[in-house]
Amino acid sequence: MKKFATAFGAALLLCGCAGVRHPPASAPSPVDMLVGWISFRGEFLLYPRQEDLGRTLDQSCTSGTFARVADFRSAARRFEGKRVRVIGRLMKADAYFSDSTLGQRIENYCGSDTVLIATSVEPAPPQ
């Protein structure tokens, strides 16, 4: 009987853990929030000022992407040219480029030292 109870307990433990998926250790956690005007060009560009929309390679914006391609496409349709709040993880651009598991490719059209791996985007609250 003791063997049965041990085997049954082990089976329950295994079944309980089988569906748990742990993110990779390098996956970004949603701790940073940026508000700005967003544009999409294969990556998103987030600008603090509306009049800077379209500027590139002068560090006037933050380049970013989403961990999931579907989120990127949906956001591009809904938010192009609008003021948004983006939740995600800022990271050094060189660290992003050395880790291919972090989402879509970023060219860093903004030319800044950091990039943003977004987990969500929503309309920004009124100013």
Q: Domain count of the chain?
A: 1
Predicted confidence (pLDDT) per residue in 40-57, tens digit: 998 999 999 999 999 999
Query: Does residue 13 fall inside a structural domain?
Result: no
Query: Does residue 15 fall inside a structural domain?
Result: no
Strand partners, 123: 84
63 contacts 112 by C-beta, under 8 angstroms? yes
pTM of the model: 0.72
Query: Does residue 36 fall inside a structural domain?
Result: yes
Predicted confidence (pLDDT) per residue in 105-121, tens digit: 788 999 999 999 998 99
CATH label of the domain that carries residue 33: 2.40.50
Taking the C-alpha atoms of residue 37 and residue 53, their distance in angstroms, rounded to an integer, is 7
Q: Look at residue 127 in the predicted model and tell me its pLDDT.
A: 82
pLDDT of 15 above 60: no
Taking the C-alpha atoms of residue 100 and residue 74, their distance in angstroms, rounded to an integer, is 22
Instruction: Label residue 96 by pLDDT band (50, 70, 90).
Output: confident
